[in-house]
Structures are given as structure tokens and as C-alpha cells.
Amino acid sequence: MERLSRLFWPVLVTPKNAVVKNVEAISRSQKLLTDLGLVRPAYNGTYQLLPLAQRVMKKCADLVRRQMRDVGAQQITLPVLTPSELWKKSGRLDGDITEFYLIKDRHGKQFLLSPTHEEAVTAMLASIAPISYKQLPIRLFQIGPKFRDELKPRFGLIRAKEFVMKDLYTFDRDAATALHTYNQINSAYEALFQQLQVPFVKVEAATGMMGGSVSHEYHYLAATGEDQLITCDSCGYAANIETINEASHDKHCQRCNSTNVRSVTGIEVGHTFVLNDKYSKPLKATFLQENGKPENLVMGCYGIGVSRLVAAAVEVLATESELRWPTLLAPFDVCIIGAKEGSKEEKLASSVETEFCNALSGISNEEDVLIDDRSNFTIGKRLLEAKRMGYPIIVVIGSKAANAVPKIELHYISGETMDVEPNEALALIAKYTNQKRELYNTKLNYSAPAKSNKASIS
């Protein structure tokens, strides 16, 4: 169990009479994550992730990693530096590259601080040739830093110059199996977003500089979103406005022609593409067919902004003054607050707290329990801070624990409060833990990776 007195947690304290000058528009998530000591701004558009944020980020990355492995993807790590000559071969270096970082080493060789790795992973497979049709499909993903020289970094982790991303690259033998893979990965994305329990919308999207033939985005709807989306309440169709005829987007649905359409703003948290041979052809990434002849691999790529996803979830769920977390991402499930040092109930309450913590260790994952042992502070101050941090369950072991029949206070994130005996509190926490475990283990049934050119399209 973690003790708060040992946690590096530099909360931003603003004096009561201080005049705060807003030099930029900030979002709810940016303000809360910064003020409450989870992140700190470093340089414009870059952020330092402190221990509490790192806990949340790890949980998010673990969920993403689990979904990727469930669809047969294997994790790799590619260099952050990508030779610009690869982007020259794919044609992307000749496009708009104003948002990308280009650097040179001491020998004059030019590299990109990679915003994405299509060229790099395709070149890797090209260097491994020959690849047999029997080895397909190949699904490779990584989770790590990406870089984009944003003109106007905004809203903290939602639009930053350096961010954490999961990028998956798939390689199939033909368009049918590539589409089969595409549907599988999109199912995995939907399972992930359902696990996180934050309302999301999947929309048709433009392929943009990535290229390809099919693309979808996943969005959290929020006022601070920078993407304009159109949704149809009649048939459920949704699309990024970039894909729709400007003259008709606010009048008729592109699918059912209904006028029951709405314009909303979203924060993009995931993006999927069928790339065809846009990268495999110029970079000569091929496989050998049954007849021994080479054929271009058919690619897909799939991204999830892990750091953006965390911030966007806070943006949607939090109140103006208190953090709120998806159940599976909360930095701690339970926060325990004991009696104040020197209080008349300290001795009896401390005994109850010790017994309670010992029993709790067999119920909850100890890494998800935080003990606020700063007994020099009042219970009220610590309770207020715990509520602002959004811990799902707060346990207060104070004056009522010194009663003939000890009682402790349970405070739920929903606002519900109850006084219960320790055993009942343990049972309620066990119930929460079991529900969380069930949510974590929820899976969609994916069909097996296709190995035949006669693969069914899901």
C-alpha cells in the first residue's frame, strides 16, 4: 500500500488573494491535472508526467496492450529517429511537413523525430524478405513517444508537441484479408472504449496525408474538441466534416438523407486506416505467393493517443473542481484517511485502521490502495483533497471508529456516504473490486487472424 507522505505530489497552491493572469485558454483537464500535481508544463507544448499521472498512463497503456495482444499483435520498439530518405521514397517528404521535426546528425544525415512509423516498419519488413504467405498476417505495434511541431499547442496533453501513442501496423496478402484485419482491429478499439466507459463516437474520416482507402476516427465529445463532426440521430451515421460536402453537411444525412443531423465537436483519441500498398510498393515490402512470385504487402495502420486519451477522459468526466476517472484508470481505487495526530480518538482509531488495512490487503490489489498518513492534517482537509483527486472510494477512520461498536465512513465518488462497520466496509470494497475485475476481463469475441485469400469479411 502506498503512503501519501512518501508520494512525490507537488500540488499547485495559489494564494487566496493572488491575481491569476490567463495567458492562454486552458481546458478543464489541463487545469485540474496541473493544479492537482499530476503533470507540470516543461517547455511550450511539452509536459512532465509526475507519479500519479504515470500510474494512470501505465494503466491505460496496459489496457491498450492487452487489446492488441488479443488480436494477435506483437509489441516491438522502433527508433524514434527515422531517416528522411524513407519519407522521400514514400512521397510524404514532398508534402506539407511543417509540423514535423527534421534534424541532422554530425555527418549531415537527415532524420525525422517520428510523428508516426509507417515508413520505418515497412522498410524493416522489406529488409527481412523473403516473407512467405504462410507468415501472414503480420501485426506489429508499439507504445512510445511521438513528436509533432504543433503551431498552437493547446489544452495540455490533448494537443502537445510530444505525446505517447500506440501505433499498430498490419500486413496482409490482399485487400480482402486486409479488410478482415481492419474489422478485427476496429472491434478491439470498440472493446477498449467500452471498457473505459466514456461515451464515444466512431466516425468516417478522411485519409489525409496517411493515404489509403478506408479510415475511421474515434472521438470523445467535448466542447474543447477541435474536430467538427456530423451525427445522424435517425440511422446512427457519423462522419468528420472533412469527408462531407460542405453545402449539405448541416441539412441531410449522407447515408439515409434524413434531416435529423447534428453538428458536434470531438477530441480524436483513435484513428484507423487501410493503406493498401501506399508504403509497401515504393519501399518494396513484398511477400512470396504460393507460386513463388512476389507481391506487395497490403497494409493497415491504427493509432491511439494514449496520453491524449487520459486527458480527454478527464475532460469529459471531471467537474470544474474535481477529477473523475474511468474505473480502470483511477490512480488508486481506495484512499484511507486515519485519525488526526493528537486527537482523543487517535489510539482506538489507529488500532481499527491497522486491522482494516491488514484485512483489505487480501481483498484489493495493494498497489491500488493509498493511505493518507499525513496525520498532522485534519480529516476534513485530507477528505477534501481525496475528493478532488477523484478516488473511487474514500475510507475515513476517525472519531466513529472509537465507538463501542466501531464505525467507519465510506465516501463514494458518486457522492454517496455511509457509516458502516469495518466488515461491511470490506464487503463493499470487495464488491467494487469484483465489478472492476469483471470490467477488466470483458472481451469481444474476435475471429482468428485470416490466413487465406478467401477470408470472410466481418
Q: What is the mean pLDDT of residues 129-151?
A: 94
Q: pLDDT of 408-425, one tens digit each?
A: 999 999 999 999 999 999
Instruction: Give the model's pLDDT for residue 130.
Output: 86
CB 317 within 8 A of CB 310: no
What integer pLDDT is reported at residue 12 of this predicted model?
72
* CATH fold for the domain made of 334-440: Rossmann fold (3.40.50)
Write down how long the chain is: 458
Residue with cell 476534513: 380
CA atoms of 231 and 291, how far apart (whole Å): 47
pLDDT of residue 141: 98
d(CA 217, CA 304): 10
Instruction: Report the helix count and the strand count for the chain, using DSSP H and E.
Output: 9, 22
**Higher per-residue pLDDT: 208 or 427:** 427
- Name the pLDDT band for 457 (thresholds 50, 70, 90): very low
Grid cell for residue 440 = 477488466
Helix, strand, or coil here: 101?
strand
b (16+ CB within 10 A) / e for 249-272? beeebbeeeeeebeebebbbbbbb
The pLDDT confidence band at residue 26, using thresholds 50, 70 and 90, is: confident
Task: Please report which confidence band the pLDDT of residue 246 belongs to, taking 50, 70 and 90 as the band edges.
Answer: low
Distance between CA atoms of residues 421 and 438, nearest Å: 26
As a whole number of angstroms, the distance between CA 86 and CA 248 comes to: 40
Mean pLDDT of 57-66: 97
Of the candidates 29, 120, 129, 112, the residue with the CA atom closest to the CA atom of residue 77: 120
pLDDT of residue 249: 53
In this prediction, residue 455 carries a pLDDT of 32
State the average pLDDT over residues 357-361. Answer: 95
The larger pLDDT score, comparing residue 394 to residue 255, is at: 394
Mean pLDDT over 278-290 rounds to 96
CB of 333 closer than 8 Å to CB of 396: no
Strand ranges inside 105-186, DSSP E: 110-113, 138-147, 162-172
Reading the block at residue 54, the C-alpha cell is 504515470
Q: Decide if 49-317 and 334-440 have a common fold.
A: no
- Delimit the domains of the chain by residue range: 49-317, 334-440
pLDDT confidence bin for 447, thresholds 50/70/90: low
Q: Per the structure block, which three cell numbers stand in for 346?
A: 487517535
Cα of 334 vs its chain's centroid, Å: 22
CATH topology of domain 49-317: BirA Bifunctional Protein; domain 2 (3.30.930)
**Distance, C-alpha 25 to centroid of its chain:** 23
pLDDT band at 25 (very low <50, low <70, confident <90, very high): low
Per-residue model confidence (pLDDT) at position 209? 66
* Residue 456 confidence class, pLDDT cut points 50, 70, 90: very low
pLDDT at 133 (0 to 100): 96
Question: Per the structure block, which three cell numbers stand in for 454?
Answer: 478467401
**pLDDT above 50 for 453:** no
* Mean of pLDDT over the chain: 91
Other beta carbons within 10 angstroms of residue 33's beta carbon come to: 27
pLDDT, one tens digit per residue, over 300-320 is 999 999 999 999 999 999 999
pLDDT at 11: 82
pLDDT above 80 for 13: no
Over range 160-189, report the average pLDDT: 96
**pLDDT at residue 60 above 60?**
yes
Query: What is the C-alpha R_g of the chain?
Result: 25
pLDDT at 458 over 70: no
Checking if the pLDDT of 239 tops 70, the result is yes
| Per-residue cell: 279 | 508504403
Q: What is the pLDDT of residue 418?
A: 96
In this predicted structure, what is the pLDDT of residue 436?
Answer: 96
Question: How far apart (Å, rounded) are the C-alpha atoms in residues 287 and 296?
Answer: 7
